Amino acid sequence: MEESQDTCLKPAGIKNTVRSVEVMMPQTDAERFTVGVFKDLAAAEVGLAALKRQGFAADALSVIAREDAQAGGLIENTVGTCATALALPGLGAVLAAGPLMAALEGEGHDLSHVGLATAMKRVGFQLHDGQVFQKLTERGGVLVAVRSESRAADALSTLHCYGGGNAAIGAWTGRLPL
């Protein structure tokens, strides 16, 4: 933190010291994600199609859903890769794909140990947000994430417009310890 002083003269010759403080924010290599949870697979399919129409590439999209054949098909058709089967604490068996998964895994590759709610801190969400995302997904919702720093507001708007509940941007990327 650097501090500088500038001296100003008031009309009556009274000196006034003005202090300015520069705060350095930590640099981060973490990616920013915009996340929302759709009520079911059908709603997620409509929302994902809207994101694609808005110009978001398939490799920027991530999906996490309870494990079933329809979820696997949705993920493969949308993201363009086969879904990975995971067992997550509090959620059970899920299928997932996309860049969000690597970020949630973390350096310790421990997503299946810490769970979705806690791992969401790695992409800038507070624990409470992660718990909401986990609970909605546990109830059959489909978590959709968009990796796009420059178009985060566009992604947020699209998620909201098409029913992505509790949609939010991971605002504190790299600043919250896990």
Q: What is the pLDDT of residue 10?
A: 44
The domain tally of the chain equals 1
Q: What is the pLDDT of residue 74?
A: 96
Give me the domain span that covers residue 118. 33-169
Q: What is the pLDDT of residue 12?
A: 55
**Is residue 99 included in any domain, yes or no?**
yes
**Is residue 1 included in any domain, yes or no?**
no
Pairing of strands 142-147, 61-66: antiparallel
Q: Are 94 and 85 in contact (CB under 8 A)?
A: yes
The residue among 71, 88, 177 whose CA lies nearest residue 138 is 88
**Is residue 157 included in any domain, yes or no?**
yes
Question: Full-prediction pTM beyond 0.85?
Answer: no
**Is residue 75 included in any domain, yes or no?**
yes
**Is residue 175 included in any domain, yes or no?**
no
Please list the pLDDT of the chain residue by residue as tens digits (178 residues): 444 444 444 455 545 444 444 433 333 345 789 999 999 999 999 999 999 999 999 999 999 999 998 999 999 999 999 999 999 999 999 999 999 999 999 898 999 999 999 999 999 999 999 999 999 999 999 999 999 989 999 999 999 999 999 999 997 544 444 4
Q: What is the pLDDT of residue 81?
A: 93
How far apart are the C-alpha atoms of 49 and 72, rounded to whole Å? 16
The HSE-up count of residue 65 (CA atoms within 13 Å, CB side) is: 25
Q: What is the pLDDT of residue 13?
A: 52
**Is residue 21 included in any domain, yes or no?**
no
Q: What is the pLDDT of residue 26?
A: 34
**Is residue 12 included in any domain, yes or no?**
no
**Is residue 92 included in any domain, yes or no?**
yes
